[in-house]
Amino acid sequence: MSIKIEECVICDNALTEYDETAKRFLDLPEDINVKRCRQCGLRWLYPMMSVEEYSELYKLSYFDEIPQDYEKVVVQRLRHYRERIKKILKYFNNRKIRLLDVGAATGEFVNEARKTGIDATGIEPSLKACQRAKERYGIDLIQGDFLVLDINERFDVIHMHHVFEHFLEPGKCLERVRDLLNDNGLFVLEVPNQFDNIYMDLRILKRKPFSVYSIHHPYFYNPNAITTLLIRYGFEVENLKTWKSYLKGKSRRIPGSEYFFHYIVLFLADLLLKRGLFIEVYATKNGRRKK
C-alpha cells in the first residue's frame, strides 16, 4: 500500500475528506482509509496499492480460486447479458459488429454475443479463467493485460462488466478504449455504485468482513463521477442506469416474494435518484479529450 493519491483524478482538486462509513463498511485495516472527493463524490483507497502489488494480489487470489458462488452469479448474469446484447444490436441497427469484452472472465458474455451473430472476442488476465472459457465454450480468449497488449485492430463495441473499477489508472484505461474504438464506436460498462446507493442510505447492506476482495477496487464510482470522467476523456454518455435489472424477471413472476421489495426499492431509487446498486453506461466515442 504505497501510493497516496491526494487529489481527485477526475476533478484535479484537493477538496477531499476521509469517508469513515466506507472504511467501516469494507472493514479495512487501520492503515488503509477511503478518501472522497467533495466535488464529484469519487472515492478511492488511501493509500492505494502500486501496480506491482496489485498484480501480486491477483496472482494470489481471484480466479485461481474461483469463488464457490461464482456459478450462481454467472447464471444471474446471463439474463442481464442477453438484454444488454439486444440493446447493443439495436444501437447498430442489427448490422454485423466487432466487439471486444475486456475482463472476459470465463467467457460468458463473449459466448452470448456470438450466439447472436456478433463477431466477439475477449481479453482476460487470468490464465485459469481463459482455460475455463476454452473448455466450456471453445472460446480462445486473449490472455493478458488490456493496457499493454499489442492489439492491431479496431472495434465497434468495447464492453466491461465489473472491470473498470479494478483499474489503478482509469485515465489510461479510457485512452486505450478510445484508441481501440472505431469512430462511431460504443463503450458499454457496468460498475458497482458501491456507496452512493439506496441500500447504503437505508443501512440495509451488511457490513463486509475484511477480505482481499475489500481492496480489489482501488476506486469507487458513482453516477456523477463516472459521467464526469467519461466526458473528460471525450466520450458522450448516451444512457446511464443504476438499476439492477436482472432482478426484474423474478419479481414479475413472483410478486410478494422477497424480490418484489427489492424490485420496487431499486426501481424507484434509480428512477428518482440514480441510487441503484450498479451503474450501467452506454457512451459513444465523440469529440476530443478535454483537459
Contact characters 7-36, Zn ion, x per CB under 5 A: -x-xx-------------------------
Task: Say which residue the cell 479510457 belongs to.
Answer: 174
44 or 263, CB closer to Zn ion? 44
Shortest separation between residue 273's beta carbon and Zn ion, angstroms: 20
Cell, residue 161: 462488466
Shortest separation between residue 6's beta carbon and Zn ion, angstroms: 12
Q: CA distances (Å), 70 to each of 56, 135, 188, in order?
A: 22, 17, 22
Stretch that binds Zn ion, among 41-49, 62-70, 89-97, 213-221 (CB under 5 A): 41-49
What span, in angstroms and rounded, lies between the C-alpha atoms of 73 and 16? 35
What span, in angstroms and rounded, lies between the C-alpha atoms of 28 and 40? 23
Shortest separation between residue 232's beta carbon and Zn ion, angstroms: 10
Q: Total binding residues for Zn ion by CB under 5 A?
A: 7
Site for Zn ion (CB under 5 A): which residue of 3, 32, 33, 39? 39
What span, in angstroms and rounded, lies between the C-alpha atoms of 71 and 77? 10
Count of CB atoms situated within 10 Å of the CB of 79: 16
Alpha helices in 138-247, H assignment, sequence order:
170-180, 198-201, 223-232
Stretch that binds Zn ion, among 2-10, 127-135, 165-173, 273-281 (CB under 5 A): 2-10
What span, in angstroms and rounded, lies between the C-alpha atoms of 237 and 230? 7
111 or 228, CB closer to Zn ion? 228
8 or 181, CB closer to Zn ion? 8
Q: Which residues bind Zn ion (CB under 5 A)?
A: 8, 10-11, 37, 39-40, 42
